[in-house]
Structure 1
Amino acid sequence: MRLTPEELRARKRRNVWIALALVAFIVLVFATTVIRLQQNQADERALRDAVDGAPL
């Protein structure tokens, strides 16, 4: 099966958009993970400070 030059260009363009979408998804997942880790660390620090500062 031979593809025409137009079909080859369309396939290449489609593959580029799929690659860009995949990279964008990976960046989104990474950023979400980093933000959630930072929030969890801040919450843990605040909880530890609250427990340490509580009267015995």
Structure 2
Amino acid sequence: MRLSPEELAARKKRNLAVAAALVVFIILIFTVTVRNFMGNMAASAALKQADAAQTAAAR
């Protein structure tokens, strides 16, 4: 079965739309992951700083 030029063009547009949606999804997941990682790093640094201050005050 041969596809007509119109069907081929429609398939190409669909494939490009799916590819674009996949790229947007990957960027979204990457962005959320980086934001969570940075938030966890900041929280860890704050805990270490508080622990250091508490240790210094106890001496």
TM range (shorter): over 0.9
Unaligned runs of 5+ in 1: none
Corresponding residue pairs, total: 56
**2:37 aligned with 1:37, yes or no?**
yes
TM-score scaled by length of structure 1: 0.94
TM-score scaled by length of structure 2: 0.90
1:1-56 deviation digits (Å, cap 9, x = unpaired)? 11011110100000000000010011011111111110000000000111111132
Aligned to 2:4: 4
The higher radius of gyration belongs to 2
Aligned residue for 1:3, secondary structure, equals coil
Higher helix residue share: 2
CA distance in 2, matches of 1:14, 1:47: 49
Percent of aligned positions with the same letter in both sequences? 48
Structure 1 residue ranges, 4+ long, deviating more than 2 angstroms after superposition = none
CA distance in 2, matches of 1:10, 1:50: 60
Unaligned runs of 5+ in 2: none
